[in-house]
Amino acid sequence: MTWQKLNISVQQGSDDVTVHSGELANVWAGYSLILNGLHHEITSIDQSIITLDTAWSGESLIEHTASVMPTVTPLTDMLSNAITGVKENGEFSAQLLGQLAKLYTTQGDVTLTDASGAEHGLVGYPKLLGDQQAFQEQLYSHLPIIRLSQNQYGHLDGNKMAGWAHNSGFDIDINHYRVITSGIEWANREAEEQEILTAMNMAGKQHFQPNIVVNKLKWNRVSSTASSWLLFPQKTITSASLTIGCYAKLLSGELKESWLKDVNTEWGLCGAYASGYPGKYFHAHPYASTDTGEVLFIWPAVVQGHVPLDRANPKWGFYPSLYQANSYDTSVDT
């Protein structure tokens, strides 16, 4: 979730904050109100009045914009109190187990009882985690993504990926399976094109750039002693976090890791993450778990930055490259 923005006023020395405007429906006790960069835990909300755990010590704020966000601190504090309050003869009681079950399974508010019998309203862990993940995804969406690998488009040099390295311990054959072109109305597209575009989160789209090349890779082991890696774009040097991905569909055999991690027999997003450090390099190559097999793939690449690898809501796309001379990736070197 994004941080909630509220227009508020608060007097110096008061723990009551008046909310003039802003959405309070999804703000709960246990969240933090951020005033001039300082976090204050919200203890209660009564209509347009927010009560803080401590009085505001700064200068009075009038018609001030403040932010609200979930906080994990009260979760740990209240849970500790709850455990203390329901211990029986050194063993966890059924009451504690019940509270833990509620805390870690409930979407929304949970009430925990501390050692004194006082009740404390908390946000259930699933909702807290969901809010955090949603916020992280929105943050990631604003970060720049730069492609570090060549030939995401899918150019071929004979029956190999142009500019890529291929394992000589396998007979690797790659060909253009089909090209999905821009400008065709959705209703006039073939069923397979609709299936592929839907898996790429492009259902209903008529126009896009560049055209989408679907390549078919067939492998056959010819050396019993060769490593099981298949192919990779080139040595990737990075000092930052990476995302390696593509869209793919497995036709036969088994593959694992890199841009084909989690590939299966349905079209979908595949990939993995890798971390960097100064001077690090690596090779983005999937491994063959079987001696033979076939796979269809689209837009394989290594990018610097975080791209969500969510098959249900894919964001992977065609990315700018340090190598290319234009935005359509038309040269073999890109």
pLDDT in tens, 248-280: 999 999 999 999 999 999 999 999 998 777 888
pLDDT at 122: 76
Q: What is the pLDDT of residues 186-198, one digit of tens each?
A: 999 999 999 999 9
pTM for this one?
Answer: 0.61
pLDDT at 26: 76
Q: Does domain 146-304 have CATH number 1.20.1740?
A: no
> Mean pLDDT over residues 53-78, rounded?
75
Q: Which residue has the tokens 């990018």?
A: 303
> Mean pLDDT over residues 286-293, rounded?
97
The more confident residue out of 58 and 19 is 19
Which has the closest alpha carbon to 121: 33, 47, 8, 27?
Answer: 27
pLDDT at 35: 84
The answer to whether the beta carbons of residues 219 and 250 sit under 8 Å apart is no
The DSSP line for 202-221 is -TT----SS-EEEEEEEEEE
Alpha helical stretches, state H, the chain = 73-86, 94-105, 125-140, 191-199
Name the least confident of 93-97, 210-214, 242-246: 93-97
Name the least confident of 12-26, 71-85, 204-218: 71-85
Average pLDDT, the chain: 84
The more confident residue out of 72 and 175 is 175
Which has the closest alpha carbon to 175: 262, 264, 263, 294?
Answer: 294
Token pair of 95 as six digits: 């009451």
The DSSP line for 282-295 is E----EESSSEEEE
> Mean pLDDT over residues 143-155, rounded?
86
Domain boundaries for CATH 2.40.10 within the chain: 4-69
Say whether pLDDT at 4 is over 80: no
pLDDT at 330: 42
- Integer Cα distance of 326 and 317 in angstroms: 16
Of all residues in the chain, the percent with pLDDT exceeding 90 is: 49
pLDDT at 334: 40
pLDDT at 331: 45
Domain boundaries for CATH 2.60.120 within the chain: 146-304
The more confident residue out of 330 and 97 is 97
* Omega of the bond leading into 210 within 30 degrees of 0 (cis): yes
The answer to whether the beta carbons of residues 214 and 176 sit under 8 Å apart is yes
The answer to whether the beta carbons of residues 193 and 180 sit under 8 Å apart is yes
The answer to whether the beta carbons of residues 70 and 39 sit under 8 Å apart is no
What class has domain 4-69? mainly beta
Which has the closest alpha carbon to 258: 230, 224, 278?
Answer: 230
